[in-house]
């Protein structure tokens, strides 16, 4: 496991649970609005897996869950074994993924190693490559979403909106594509000093976010802004 970061406490990243966040290094996408550039580019000092597990052992009475994020965790060859060790300590596991590895994802679900999944829906099929900064097979995203939505585990789908990238028509199409989602969140782009891209990007206004929510709620009535 290439572990690039450990946030020791979060009240927000695992709905309903007090958790910590383990950030795995590296990603197969290059989204220009990503605010974890150092994690994606694997330029941070590595944290030994044993150090993370020792921390989790000590915090068993304080934490309820572990959010494994990135980067893209499914790039890690030792992820299954790592999640099994976390589960053996009694923690619930949340996985953050970009959805581009449906086969590996399905294996983790079938092995009962995931309790909650958050999957990013970057954009419409026509604009996926533009949005993620590289070529991508959109059918893999569709497969992962279908696996999640039919798995029976808790999940959320989410889209981060950027004024220069997403249009109302894009939001409409995303809503149509993922109609029936149990949870769908719209997130506003937040600028940081560690963005992956070097092009000017701006968030939506509050009014634009509310308008985007109204659009997507036509197809996913329980959608929310996070």
What pLDDT tens digit does each residue of the chain (226 aa) get?
A: 999 999 999 999 999 999 999 999 999 999 998 888 888 888 889 999 999 999 999 999 899 999 999 999 999 999 999 999 999 999 999 999 999 999 999 999 999 999 999 999 999 999 999 999 999 999 999 999 999 999 999 999 999 999 999 999 999 999 999 999 999 999 999 877 767 667 789 999 999 999 999 999 999 999 999 9
The predicted pLDDT at position 74 comes to 97
**How many Cβ atoms from other residues are within 10 Å of residue 221's Cβ?**
9
Helix 79-88 with 102-110: angle, nearest 10 deg: 30
Burial of 202 (0-12, 13-18, 19+ CB in 10 A): exposed
Work out whether the CA dihedral 136, 174, 71, 82 comes out positive or negative: negative
DSSP strand pairing (19-24 vs 3-10): antiparallel
User: Model's pTM, two decimal places?
Assistant: 0.94
The encoded tokens of residue 75 equal 């790039």
Report the pLDDT value the prediction gives residue 38, as an integer from 0 to 100: 84
The pLDDT of residue 190 is 87
């Amino acid at each position: 496991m290439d572990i690039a970061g450990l946030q020791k406490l979060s009240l927000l990243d695992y709905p309903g649970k007090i958790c910590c966040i383990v950030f795995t290094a590296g990603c197969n996408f290059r989204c220009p609005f990503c605010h974890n550039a150092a994690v994606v580019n694997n330029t941070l000092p590595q944290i030994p897996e044993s150090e993370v597990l020792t921390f989790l052992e000590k915090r068993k009475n304080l934490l309820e869950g572990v959010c494994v994020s990135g980067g893209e965790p499914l790039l890690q060859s030792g992820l299954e074994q790592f999640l099994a060790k976390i589960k053996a300590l009694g923690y619930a596991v949340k996985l953050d993924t970009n959805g581009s590895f449906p086969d590996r994802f399905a294996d983790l679900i079938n092995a009962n190693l995931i309790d909650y999944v958050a999957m990013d829906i970057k954009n419409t099929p026509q604009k996926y490559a533009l949005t993620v900064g590289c070529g991508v097979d959109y059918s893999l995203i569709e497969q992962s979403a279908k696996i999640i939505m039919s798995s029976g585990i808790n999940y959320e789908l989410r889209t981060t909106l950027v004024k220069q990238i997403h249009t109302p028509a894009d939001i409409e199409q995303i809503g149509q594509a993922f109609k029936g989602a149990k949870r769908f969140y719209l997130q506003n782009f937040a600028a940081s000093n560690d963005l992956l891209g070097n092009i000017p990007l701006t968030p939506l206004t509050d009014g634009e976010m509310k308008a985007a929510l109204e659009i997507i709620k036509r197809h996913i009535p329980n959608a929310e802004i996070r």
